[in-house]
Amino acid sequence: MVAATAIEIERWPQTTEEFDRLIGLTQDELIQFATYRLGSQTDAEDVVQDVFVHAFKDRAKRRAVVEVRPYLFRMVRNRCTDVLRSRARANTWRMEARREKSGHEVQFPDFYRLLDQLPENEAEVIRLRAWSDLSFGEIAVAVDAPVPTVKSRFRYGIEKLRRLMCPQGGLNQ
């Protein structure tokens, strides 16, 4: 993970050299997020590659974007959602489908599946918090919502997770 250095990216890259640097700084964290979202590193790398190519193609349009890293997460997140929707349309469950096709699937602890029982906007904030180094402010950019809303979603989601995990009480009881 290279989040500490990734914060140094202050503006949307405009040259291939700058994109090369951006990819070096952010590829691992974006792929990690997409891998856990999609259950397959192969699919995750396809998504992240697609995002970088689009980021390059639209570089002039995004010149004014200053929150580059969270914005990339937003692009990856949206692209992951597209992939998950297309899988759903094909009537396949994301993990099973990938297990048959490639050897690069990721084993999820059952715990992760609890996230599927939360409202999607709460689950997404928790995923971003758990699977990346983004701050609440950056997550707000990634999900295109105000920071207080993001914090509320996180709080409600965590409370629901607690209840789902330990219906009789807290984890430590």
Q: Which stretch binds another protein (CB under 8 A): 10-18, 74-82, 91-99, 140-148?
A: 10-18
CB of 91 to another protein, least distance (A): 27
Phi first, then psi, for residue 105 (nearest 5°) are: -70, 160
CB of 81 to another protein, least distance (A): 19
HEC profile of 92-111 = CCHHHHHHHHCCCECCCCHH
Q: Which stretch binds another protein (CB under 8 A): 33-41, 77-85, 91-99, 138-146?
A: 33-41
Residues 46-105 that bind another protein (CB under 8 A): 48-49, 52-53, 56-57
CB 33 within 8 A of CB 131: yes
Q: Which residues, 6+ apart, have CB-to-CB distance to 139 below 8 Å? A: 70, 125, 128, 129, 150
CA 115/CA 109 separation, integer angstroms: 11
**Is 136 one of the binding residues for another protein (CB under 8 A)?**
no
**Is 15 one of the binding residues for another protein (CB under 8 A)?**
yes
- Residues found near another protein in the complex (CB under 8 A): 1, 3, 15-17, 19-20, 23-24, 27-28, 31-32, 35-36, 41, 45, 48-49, 52-53, 56-57, 106, 109, 111-112, 115, 126-127, 129-131, 133, 154, 158, 161-162, 165, 171-172
